[in-house]
Structure 1
């Protein structure tokens, strides 16, 4: 049953569909970063292809999903109250993001895996996507942090003007167009590093998710009309898959129009997954990926710790002349297991307790009813 067919919940709940999308994204990120054992096998190469090819695209999927969820929090409040409580929103974001993040930074300071001048100031100021960081994976979190400041400020301005939803969509779409033009010009100048890392070139991926949230919360009839076009949604998802396979080979093309194509396709994927998961929602594979999605933030923060053990296992396998294919499976499985276990433990030990404190001190405001199918509770 899709979101608009679901019953209103009587308490906060998670949506396994959204966790499934998170799980897909974090698996793509892990597979891209993890080190593999050379086999020379065409079968292993085929298995590796999606893992090694679409890690960056997993980040793009995270961006669009974050825009949908986080934008939904603010737009739902705007739709109900006609105002934006930016202070409460930012405080709740801080409780969600910062405790686990700063535990990671403290860990790296204490263990000395990286010289502090290669990450500390950059990460403490959330500018690591501009100035670089030896804790490489945190660049995308900086983009999201900047988005968490930009979006409520923008919506506050629009709320003071009593802007209608169609105008909000036009403003967000115009910003996305400006970002696309600016990014394309930067690609033309050869600034591929900037177009990959810098917030001003990446924020449109999040804003497309916000536009989907605007339809969901403020124009439900339009959302329903879109959701009912299942074949169109499938075609859009197939189109983005084809782009991932073919279009991403051209880096300049992908880092210009490619990010826009992916964001639109990922919006279609979100709607399709929410509305049409159907019976596969109860399958073991779907639920396993959804479970990984629950702990995706912790896994994202800590998965790089699996790289050193992976390298050690690769050296051992080479020294012992182990059969290549079994060694490949064992080494990849070990890295996934380490990352997921560490992500699970840190989420349970840090993120979840702080979320309980947050909800006790700064509960989410609810009027008459709570979020449908856990959309709000996951943001």
Structure 2
């Protein structure tokens, strides 16, 4: 199954395969952040393990998928016209990202849940990944904002020299190697938090996705050769799973070479999903995860508001001596429901209306193609 034939969610020009990937990522993020009721049960601990262990890895998956999709938006124009309309690209990204983001910031200003000096300036200037923010989940949005500026500028420079695709891939690969080296040096000096959050140490996770997009748009034969090797893709994804289970336990190792291993594995996972998930994409679970993925940005922004109700339920369950396992299940379900409902409502109320305004004021002028149809609403 190819992106060229990706299934559409009724009523929207989206690829359910890509939304399934988003859904996997946001479920990992939610599961890690949500509060849990202690049960002492080995079965519950086994169920919790994948939910509670891979939140940062879910963000890494978002990064690589964003690089693939957003890079594709630019590289399609680069391939067709030999130029980059950076201004139009940035304006369209602003309409996609900023309205929902600044509504969240305004909410926290008005709600008074956090001191203003703990988040406001940092989030308004998109420097929260460097200076910290009490709205903790927004750090990754700063990395993506910096990426949205860096990539068009890089492609503009390359377009001026009429750079061929092999040279483009070499340049992107060289940047990834430089980031890896810088990250290893930083880890050697004990800068573990910096390597997790600073843009200069994280941008390669997005650039791997851009390189995948370059293959898709500019070297389709090479992409097809890779996509056709299902066994190799499965092997890489299996290696990724092993790394997630065992390698991430060594924090210095994971925050040096681990992010590179994850980016490569996530590229394979993206190709494997969009090319080979036809046999399961009509299952209820697949479509549910894909539906959650449609609202993943809104869920990511607002899911932390589910934590306070969870704490209240934990206190109530403890005071009333509710059996541990039913209490655990009810509290976890409540958090997922609250976060998903909030994400759904805010996406429908803010993000989607602004996308309609964007498309009316700054319509996509590129030639129609399937992958653009699949990403237009989401990108």
- TM-score, normalised on structure 2? 0.97
Q: 1:369 to 1:58 in 2, by over 3 A?
A: closer
Question: Does structure 2 retain, via aligned residues, the 8 Å contact 1:69–1:378?
Answer: no
Q: 2:49 corresponds to which residue?
A: 49
Question: What is the RMSD of the two structures over their aligned residues, measured on CA atoms?
Answer: 1.4
1:76 equivalent in alignment to 2:76: yes
- How far apart, CA to CA, are the structure 1 residues paired with 2:316 and 2:322? 9
- How far apart, CA to CA, are the structure 1 residues paired with 2:31 and 2:114? 23
Q: 2:31 corresponds to which residue?
A: 31
- How far apart, CA to CA, are the structure 2 residues paired with 1:174 and 1:254? 20
Runs of 4+ in 1 over 3 A off after TM superposition: 4-8, 368-373
- How far apart, CA to CA, are the structure 1 residues paired with 2:286 and 2:373? 17
Q: How does 1:315-334 map to 2 (within 5 A)?
A: 315-334=315-334
Q: 1:136 to 1:7 in 2, by over 3 A?
A: closer
Question: Does structure 2 retain, via aligned residues, the 8 Å contact 1:295–1:343?
Answer: yes
| Per-residue deviation, 1:203 | 0.2
The secondary structure found in structure 1 opposite 2:39 is coil
Q: How does 1:1-379 map to 2 (within 5 A)?
A: 1-4=1-4, 13-367=13-367, 369=369, 371=371, 374-379=374-379
The secondary structure found in structure 2 opposite 1:371 is helix
Q: 1:327 to 1:351 in 2, by over 3 A?
A: same
Question: Does structure 2 retain, via aligned residues, the 8 Å contact 1:303–1:343?
Answer: yes
Unmatched segments (≥5 aa) in structure 2: none
The secondary structure found in structure 2 opposite 1:290 is helix
Aligned length: 377
The secondary structure found in structure 2 opposite 1:37 is coil
- How far apart, CA to CA, are the structure 2 residues paired with 1:32 and 1:6? 30
Question: Does structure 2 retain, via aligned residues, the 8 Å contact 1:195–1:202?
Answer: yes
- How far apart, CA to CA, are the structure 1 residues paired with 2:86 and 2:259? 28
The secondary structure found in structure 1 opposite 2:367 is coil
| Per-residue deviation, 1:370 | 5.3
| Per-residue deviation, 1:365 | 1.2
- How far apart, CA to CA, are the structure 1 residues paired with 2:117 and 2:123? 10
Any idea what the Cα deviations from partners look like across 1:87-135, whole Å, max 9, x if unmatched? 0000000000000000000000001000100000000000000000000
- How far apart, CA to CA, are the structure 1 residues paired with 2:182 and 2:93? 29
The secondary structure found in structure 1 opposite 2:280 is helix
- How far apart, CA to CA, are the structure 2 residues paired with 1:7 and 1:286? 12
Q: 1:216 to 1:12 in 2, by over 3 A?
A: farther
- How far apart, CA to CA, are the structure 2 residues paired with 1:13 and 1:345? 20
Question: Does structure 1 retain, via aligned residues, the 8 Å contact 2:6–2:374?
Answer: no
